[in-house]
Amino acid sequence: MLDFNLPNQELGIVMATNAGPRGPRSHPRAPAYALLGFLSVIWGLAFVAIRVADSDLSPLSLLLIRWLIASAGLAIIVPFARPKTKFQSRDLPRPLAFALMMVALYGTALNYAETSISSGLVGLLVSLGPVFIVAFSAVTLKERLSRRLVYALLLALVGCVLLSASDLNAGGNSLSGALEAIVASLIYAGFTVLSKPLVDKYGALSVTIWGSLTGTVFLLPLASAEFVRQVSALPAEGWVAVGIVRTRSER
């Protein structure tokens, strides 16, 4: 029996206790986990798609055409990507550096790495990015690291070294390709940490869209006659790979 003389907060707890069994409830984070799973699949397919497209396009031509297509799609949703607050000119160096690193530098290192080593090894080495993100965040953003996180990152680093060691040949192109992939992961970590204050201030969607569009502008000098020739001769399979939709893996 309820005592209606109880304070509101305590009365609510009693009513919830006496409400009886409830039906099954969906996990509040289930949509987020589903989205992460979908993005992980797309992320993994991208490395295979790059390897396929590399057979028809140079690394720089592939970089430009992919970002031109991506920017065309992102431009459609620009009206809906309103920042949280009005952009301040004093922040300009950071988004410019973010755009340059995310689009031009990261993509260049990644595409060249795929010309020397397998797409699986590239994906494995680039996945070191979170390790570098944690290190950069601790240094630049003064984020605290728990002991458990440090152990987990060290374990991931050791595992990456063990899994990739058999594919590396110190006397061949595989070593340079591995170094390029590691450079790509360092750049990835760098622009991720660099963007955090921007995301907090202006919002993730607007920062991503405007960073992508700005970075694509940096790539426009790559639009040469050779680029046009390669793109015009690109087969249907190459266009599928450029669109990062690939149903079979190819090494």
The CA distance from 195 to 208, in Å, is: 9
Helix 173-202 to helix 106-114 angle (10° resolution) is 150
The list of the chain residues with pLDDT below 70 reads 1-28, 163-173, 244-251
Q: What is the DSSP string of 138-185?
A: HHHS-----HHHHHHHHHHHHHHHHHHHTT--TTSHHHHHHHHHHHHH
Residue 156 lies in a domain: yes
User: Alpha carbon 185 to chain centroid distance?
Assistant: 10
pLDDT tens by residue, 74-94: 999 888 888 888 888 899 999
**Residue 173 confidence (pLDDT):** 62
pTM equals 0.76
Residue 100 lies in a domain: yes
**Residue 248 confidence (pLDDT):** 36
**Residue 168 confidence (pLDDT):** 59
Residue 21 lies in a domain: no
The CA distance from 185 to 105, in Å, is: 11
Host domain of residue 157: 57-235
Residue 202 lies in a domain: yes
How many domains are contained in the chain?
Answer: 1
Q: Calculate ∠ Cα 163-164-169, nearest 5°.
A: 140
Residue 22 CB neighbours (<10 A): 7
Residue 148 lies in a domain: yes
The CA distance from 239 to 242, in Å, is: 5
Residue 97 lies in a domain: yes
Structure tokens that stand for 13 in this block: 């707890």
**Residue 169 confidence (pLDDT):** 55
**Residue 128 confidence (pLDDT):** 83
The CA distance from 28 to 246, in Å, is: 31
Residue 181 lies in a domain: yes
Rounded to 5 degrees, what are φ and ψ at 243? -80, 5
Residue 137 lies in a domain: yes
Question: What are the residues whose beta carbons fall under 8 Å from the beta carbon of 61, sequence distance 6 or more?
Answer: 222, 226, 227, 230, 231
